[in-house]
Amino acid sequence: MANDNRYYRKHNFDSIAMEEHEVRDMYNSLQKTDLSIIDMKSEKRSSSGGDKFHYVVFEINFVIKNKSNSIERDCKMELIIAGNLIDSSSSELRQYHMLREGIYRKYSIWNRSPIYKDEETSLCPVYIRILKNTFRNPDNFIVKVNLYYSNGQKIYEYDLRDILGINDQSISEDMFV
């Protein structure tokens, strides 16, 4: 800001007073964030059975990255997942608000700390239990994620059959008894 309480910009070697909307755009561009889910990591945590499994528990983490130059302080991930997949022995999701929508459960998971430029983080691990009867309904494997942040929303959909694996093999019904 100059001594006359105005903002100026350069144009053809001249200094021109900026319009109000130009000043607002300049400030807003410095504060815009851009979050994305860049990966969905899964890891087998436990299982029951010998050559064939009675069940397998996986830990899933949605990796969120701040691709902007600004700090994101208020984001939320809305996880929509088949209720019968949630491993009832884990307590991580219990602290978040949940709605029932048919076979699905919708969890609102918020960030607890700021997400800095280029930082990658996961808001909450999700533990799921896969059984043989999980394969009876293909919709059990569809997971939807809505990522809400200060400057927008992004929607993702995953098929867990494409992501979950054991010993470098995709999970399949024939792995279970």
pLDDT digits (tens, 9 = 90+) for 101-111: 999 999 999 99
Work out how many domains the chain is built from and give that number. 2
Say whether pLDDT at 28 is over 90.
no
Domain co-membership, 16 together with 62: no
Domain co-membership, 109 together with 61: yes
Per-residue pLDDT, 1: 65
Domain co-membership, 44 together with 122: yes
Domain co-membership, 20 together with 47: no
Domain co-membership, 15 together with 41: no
From first CA to last CA, the distance across the chain in angstroms is 72
* DSSP code of residue 59: E
Q: At 78, which CATH number? A: 2.60.40.10
Dig out the tokens for 42 from the structure: 């899964």
Name the residue range of residue 4's domain.
1-31
Domain co-membership, 21 together with 87: no
Long-range contacts of 106-110 (CB under 8 A, 24+ apart): 106/78, 106/79, 106/80, 107/78, 107/79, 107/80, 107/81, 108/76, 108/77, 108/78, 109/76, 109/77, 109/78, 109/79, 110/74, 110/75, 110/76, 110/77
What average pLDDT does this structure show over 20-46? 85
Contact 124, 96 (CB under 8 A): yes
What is the value of pTM for the model shown?
Answer: 0.81
